[in-house]
A = this chain, B = another copy of it.
Amino acid sequence: MKRLEDKILAEGLALSETILKVDSFINHQVDPILMYEIGQDFADHFKNSGITKVLTIESSGIAPAVFTAMALNVPMIILKKQTSKILKDHILQTNITSFTKGTSYELTLSKDYVSDADTVLIIDDFLANGEAAMGAIRLAEAAGAKIAGVGILIEKAFQNGRQRIISAGYHVYSQARVSKLGKDIIEFTDAD
């Protein structure tokens, strides 16, 4: 998605060979028009997938996911990050370890909102090693849903997240695929 790549080149900050800061339009300050366009692009890509729910992980995925859900005319579900296990019949949880941040949390979904009648699209802002996306897939499948695919704003194509998700049998669509980061360097790739 050229518009997102252009924005990343204009405002993204490559802090190291692995860290890309996009606080000015995605993670802290958010550009609503860009989020609307991102939602339209995801909806267009997945329009024939029979999606009934859009799932995302709090909190940076919410803005793009809610516009995607609106464009597809389906509800959005926010998978919550809980610090501890909740033991209730209608609650599903799976443990996620963020290697980037060195933290761990319980990704949480209520069975009230996803069932075996659903086909879900998972939206997240970043794809690195695929921990969060694979956790969201585990939760949706535990609730009985089919997975239409994973939609990502910014993929770190030099990490193994895409390979991991594809190897597990799921579709990944990334709007911007960053192949290289470094001081004053942000490069993209189109290749799978």
A-side interface residues toward B, CB under 8 Å? 23-24, 27-33, 35-36, 58-60, 62-63, 66-67, 69-70, 73, 75-78, 80, 110, 112-113
Contacts and interface: CB of A to CB of B under 8 A. Distances in A.
A66 B64 CA distance: 10
Contact of A59 (B36, B58, B67, B69): B58
Given A58-B58, A63-B62, A112-B23, A76 B29 contact: yes
Secondary structure of the A contact surface, majority rule:
mixed
B28 A70 contact: no
A63 B76 CA distance: 10
Interface centre among A29, A73, A112 (most CB of B within 10 A): A29
B112 A70 contact: no
A30 B112 contact: no
